[in-house]
Amino acid sequence: MGVSILQTAAFINGEFSESETGASFPVFNPANGKEITRVADCSARDAERAIDAAAAAFKGWAHETADVRAAVLKKWRSAILEREEDLAALLSTEMGKPMAEALGEIRYGASYVEWFAEEARRVYGEVIPNASPSARTIVLKQPVGVCAAITPWNFPNAMLMRKAAAALAAGCTMVAKPAEDTPLSALAVAALAKEVGVPEGVFNVVPTSKPAGVGEVLATHPKVRKISFTGSTGVGRLLLKQASATVKKASMELGGNAPFIVFKDADFDAAIDGVMASKYRNGGQTCVCANRIFVHDSIVAEFSKKLAERVKNLRVGAGNETGVDIGPLINRTAIEKVERLVDNAVKDGAKCIVGGSRHEAGELFFQPTVLTDVLNQSEIAQSEIFGPVATIIPFSTEDEAIQYANETIYGLAAYIYTRDLGRAWRVGEALEYGMVGVNEGVISSAAAPFGGVKQSGMGREGSKYGLDDYLEIKYLCMGGLDR
Ligand SMILES: NC(=O)c1ccc[n+]([C@@H]2O[C@H](COP(=O)([O-])OP(=O)(O)OC[C@H]3O[C@@H](n4cnc5c(N)ncnc54)[C@H](O)[C@@H]3O)[C@@H](O)[C@H]2O)c1
Ligand SMILES: O=C[C@H](O)CS(=O)(=O)O
C-alpha cells in the first residue's frame, strides 16, 4: 500500500508539519465546488524555515556522487509510477482534468524524473588549452545551490517534477510553492520523496493561500540562489524584479499566445486533428494551446465547418466520469474571463458557430467553442484565453500569416501545417517563438528544451539544457606545471 499520498501539512526538512500559525486553507473540487480537504497555510516564517532546511541539506546533497543522486531519482520515479492511479485521481479531483489526461500528466512528470536521473551522470566539464605552456584551463560545472520553485495549477504534478528532477539531479536542493488551487499533487510527491529516501531538507513543499507573501520570501531570501517559476507573465515580471535584489538565477516559463497556421496545401484532416489536440487538451488550459488559428482564406470556410463538427462532439463533465473530454475550468475567475472574452469577441463581429456560453454540467464548465471571423488585434486574439475556445482568423499570404503570428508580446509555442518543406523552414525560422510544431499539435517532451522567448520567459526545461539551468560554470587555471 505504501505511504498515504493525501497529505495536508507542509513538507519541511523531511517532515510533514502544520504552519507555524496553525492556519489552514480549503482546497476545492472544481467539478462540484465541494471542499476536498484543508491544507496547512504556510507563512513567510514557514518559508524561511524551509529555506534554512534546504540550505542545511545542500552541501551533503551536492557532494553525493551523481550515481547516488541518479539512484534516488529513479526510486522516486518508480514510486510515482507505482501510485500513478492514486496520484491521477487526486490530481483530477483538485484540478478538474479528465482522468485519462491526469494519468498522462503523472506519466509525463515521471518522464522528467527519468530523464534527469540519466542526465545527472552526464554533467561533464572540459579542459581548454591554455596560452601558457605551463598552465591548463579546466572547466567544471557545480550545482547552483538552494532553488525556489513556484508552480501553476494547470499541471500541478508535471510542472513541479520538471523543476525538482533537474534541480536534484544537478545537486541542488529545493523549496517548492504549489498553486493554492492545487497543492495536493505537490504534497503527494513529497510523501513519495520521503518514502524513497530523498534526504531531509533536499525537497520541501510550502503550500499557502497567500502566494505574494511566501513568494516574496522565496524571491528575495539571500540563501536562495535560483528561482524557477511557471505561471503568468505578470507574476513572472514581479518575481524577476524581486529576485534582482540578490541577483538570483531565474528560469521563467510564462504565458503564451500560440498561433496555429494552416496553409492551403496542409493535410486538412491532420490539421483538424492537430487543432483538437492542441486547443482542447486540458480544456484549453495549457500555456502552449493553439490560441489563434490562422487558416488560409481559400479553405477557411470548409476548415471551420469540419472543426465545428468535431468540437460539438466533445463530451463535457467531471474528470472522474468515463469518456469525458473537457472538464471544468479551475475557478470562478477563470470562467468569468473566458465568458467575457467570448462575449466581447461576438460583440466585435466574430461569429460563434459552436458553443459560446457556460455548460449545464456545472458552475465552472464552459461549452467547447469555435469562433470565426476573429480579428488578430481583437481582445480575445491578444489574450491568453485559457479555455476551450478556438478563434479562427483568415489570412491570404505567407508573409501575412507570419506577421499576424508574431503580433503578440508572447513567444512560447507556435504550429504550422503545410506539406511544403521550403515553407516549413521559412515560416519556422521566421516565427518568434521558442518552440514550433510542424504538422504536429502536441510537441512537449522531457527530451526537448521547453521554453519561450519575448514575454513568454527565459531558460529551458527538459533536455540537456534544462540541467544547465541548475548548474554554475567555473574554471580552474592550473599553473606552474613546468616547476
Ligand atoms: N510556460 C509554461 O511552461 C507555462 C506552464 C503552465 C502555465 N503557464 C502560465 O501560467 C498561467 C496560468 O497559471 P496560473 O493562473 O496558476 O498563473 P499564476 O501566475 O496566477 O500563478 C502561478 C503561480 O504563481 C503563484 N503566484 C501568484 N501570485 C504570486 C505572487 N505575487 N508572488 C509569488 N507567486 C505568486 C501562484 O500561487 C501559483 O503558484 C498562464 O499564463 C499560463 O500560460 C505557463
Ligand atoms: O501548460 C503548460 C505545460 O507546459 C504544457 S505541456 O504539457 O508541457 O505541453
Closest to 194 in 3D by CA, of 80, 37, 27: 80
pLDDT above 80 (res 1): no
pLDDT (tens digit per residue) in 74-116: 999 999 999 999 999 999 999 999 999 999 999 999 999 999 9
Length of the chain: 483
Q: Output the CA 357–ligand 2 centroid distance in Å.
A: 26
pLDDT (tens digit per residue) in 313-341: 999 999 999 999 999 999 999 999 999 99
pLDDT (tens digit per residue) in 23-78: 999 999 999 999 999 999 999 999 999 999 999 999 999 999 999 999 999 999 99
253 is catalytic: yes
ipTM value of the model?
A: 0.96
User: Can you tell me which atom of ligand 2 is nearest the CA of 287?
Assistant: 1
Residue in 103, 115, 159, 443 to alter for ligand 2 test, most ligand atoms within 8 A of Cβ: 159
Ligand 1 in contact with 255 (CB < 6 A)?
yes
Q: CA 386 → CA 165, 225, 262, 284, distances in Å?
A: 27, 32, 21, 5
Q: Output the CA 222–ligand 2 centroid distance in Å.
A: 30
Q: What would the mean pLDDT of 155-159 be, rounded to a whole number?
A: 98
Residue span(s) of the chain under CATH 3.40.605.10 come to: 10-254+456-475
287 is catalytic: yes
Ligand 1 in contact with 411 (CB < 6 A)?
no
pLDDT (tens digit per residue) in 363-386: 999 999 999 999 999 999 999 999
- Match 499541471 to its residue by C-alpha cell: 155
Residue from 287, 289, 384, 461 carrying the catalytic annotation: 287
The class (CATH top level) of 258-445 is alpha beta
Rama region for 17: left / alpha / beta (φ>0; ψ in -120 to 50; rest): beta
Q: Output the CA 229–ligand 1 centroid distance in Å.
A: 8
Q: Output the CA 408–ligand 2 centroid distance in Å.
A: 19
Q: Whose CA is nearest to atom 31 of ligand 1?
A: 212
The class (CATH top level) of 10-254+456-475 is alpha beta
**The pLDDT value given to residue 264:** 98
Mean pLDDT of the chain: 98
Q: Output the CA 303–ligand 1 centroid distance in Å.
A: 33
Q: Any idea which ligand is nearest the CA of 284? A: 2
471 vs 297: CA distance, rounded Å: 48
Closest to 168 in 3D by CA, of 69, 251, 79: 69
Closest to 329 in 3D by CA, of 357, 376, 377, 365: 365
Residue span(s) of the chain under CATH 3.40.309.10 come to: 258-445
Q: Whose CA is nearest to atom 4 of ligand 2?
A: 287
353 with 374: CB under 8 angstroms?
no
Residue from 253, 289, 384, 461 carrying the catalytic annotation: 253
Q: What would the mean pLDDT of 227-245 be, rounded to a whole number?
A: 98
Q: Whose CA is nearest to atom 16 of ligand 1?
A: 152
Ligand 1 in contact with 335 (CB < 6 A)?
no
Q: What would the mean pLDDT of 207-229 be, rounded to a whole number?
A: 98
- SS3 for the chain, per residue? CCCCCCCCCEEECCEEECCCCCCEEEEECCCCCCEEEEEECCCHHHHHHHHHHHHHHHHHHHCCCHHHHHHHHHHHHHHHHHCHHHHHHHHHHHHCCCHHHHHHHHHHHHHHHHHHHHHHHHCCCEEEECCCCCCEEEEEEEECCEEEEECCCCCCCHHHHHHHHHHHHHCCEEEEECCCCCCHHHHHHHHHHHHHCCCCCCEEECCCCCHHHHHHHHHHCCCEEEEEEECCHHHHHHHHHHHHCCCCEEEEECCCCEEEEECCCCCHHHHHHHHHHHHHHHHHCCCCCEEEEEEECCCHHHHHHHHHHHHCCCCECCCCCCCCCECCCCCHHHHHHHHHHHHHHHHCCCEEEECCCECCCCCCCECCEEEECCCCCCCCCCCCCCCCEEEEEEECCHHHHHHHHHCCCCCCEEEEECCCHHHHHHHHHHCCCCEEEECCCCCCCCCCCECCCHHHEECCECHHHHHHCCEEEEEEEECCCCC
89 with 102: CB under 8 angstroms?
yes
Residue in 450, 456, 461 to alter for ligand 2 test, most ligand atoms within 8 A of Cβ: 450
Which residues face 177 on adjacent strands? 150
